[in-house]
Amino acid sequence: MDLQIEGRHTGVTAEWRADIEARAADLHPGHGMTHARVTLTKHDHRKAEDSYDVLIVVQVPGHTVTARKQQDSFEEAIRITFAAIKVELDKIREKRTSHDIRTNAPPERGIVSKVFQGEGYGFITMEDGTDVYFHRNAVHDLAFEEIEDGLEVSLNVEPGEKGPQATTVNPVPSVTQLYSDKGSTT
């Protein structure tokens, strides 16, 4: 990890440098930091209790994290600024490790039972007898106007406002269509 330490309107003492290097090393292994810059700034024009400013900018893959704290001593400002950086880096790590893996259920099958061409919707009867609403925008791989009663379709179903609703509707290819590029249907 690349660590830069600089002072503005103040020199960086060996004690502060050692403290910063130790705190940065404590953060580095678990967070994958690639670069960190720590800037110590002494402000003479401010009140004594916030004259010592510490800015830390840390880069981890995909993120730049910044923390700035002001205290009445550099030692205290360094401590609380590193604590703030650690909190933010822990949030990033937690977010990276908590990815939910979505698995799509295989499409269900049904038969188109009613189509209202003029209104742009219809119903599909599932194997269990449930009627599922579908809108023309859910139809893929086929023009809505080509859908007829009795057509076998595959669909993905979600709960809708008034009952189950198809999010996608695709025609089920015939055996001949499935094997047309293989040269034979037997």
**Residue 11's CATH number:** 3.30.160.100
**CA atoms of 165 and 59, how far apart (whole Å):** 45
Q: What is the pLDDT of residue 181?
A: 58
E strand map for the chain? 2-8, 35-42, 52-60, 63-71, 108-116, 121-126, 131-135, 152-160, 163-171
Residue 104's nearest CA partner among 155, 165, 142 is 155
Ramachandran assignment for 118, one of left (phi > 0), alpha (psi -120 to 50 degrees), beta (any other): alpha
- Per residue in 72-103, pLDDT (tens digit) is 899 999 999 999 999 998 888 888 776 665 56
Mean pLDDT for 138-161 is 90
Asked if residue 134 and residue 86 are part of one domain, the reply reads no
Asked if residue 38 and residue 83 are part of one domain, the reply reads yes
Q: What percent of the chain has pLDDT over 70?
A: 83
**Boundary (domain end) residue, out of 51, 76, 97:** 97
With a threshold of 0.75, does the pTM exceed it? no
Asked if residue 93 and residue 6 are part of one domain, the reply reads yes
**CA atoms of 26 and 54, how far apart (whole Å):** 18
Asked if residue 7 and residue 58 are part of one domain, the reply reads yes
Asked if residue 10 and residue 57 are part of one domain, the reply reads yes
Q: Indicate the average pLDDT of the chain.
A: 86
Structural domain boundaries enclosing 131: 108-177
Please check whether residue 183 lies inside any domain of the structure.
no
**Boundary (domain end) residue, out of 43, 69, 97:** 97
**Helix residue ranges per DSSP H, 9-101:** 14-31, 74-97
Please check whether residue 182 lies inside any domain of the structure.
no
Q: Which amino acid is at 126?
A: M
Count Cβ atoms below 10 Å from residue 155 Cβ, excluding itself.
24
Q: How confident is the model at residue 134 (pLDDT cuts 50, 70, 90)?
A: very high
**CA atoms of 54 and 40, how far apart (whole Å):** 5
Q: Total structural domains in the chain?
A: 2
Asked if residue 82 and residue 19 are part of one domain, the reply reads yes
Asked if residue 87 and residue 7 are part of one domain, the reply reads yes
**Boundary (domain end) residue, out of 67, 97, 127:** 97
- Residues facing residue 64 across a β-bridge: 59
Asked if residue 92 and residue 6 are part of one domain, the reply reads yes
Q: What is the pLDDT of residue 32?
A: 76
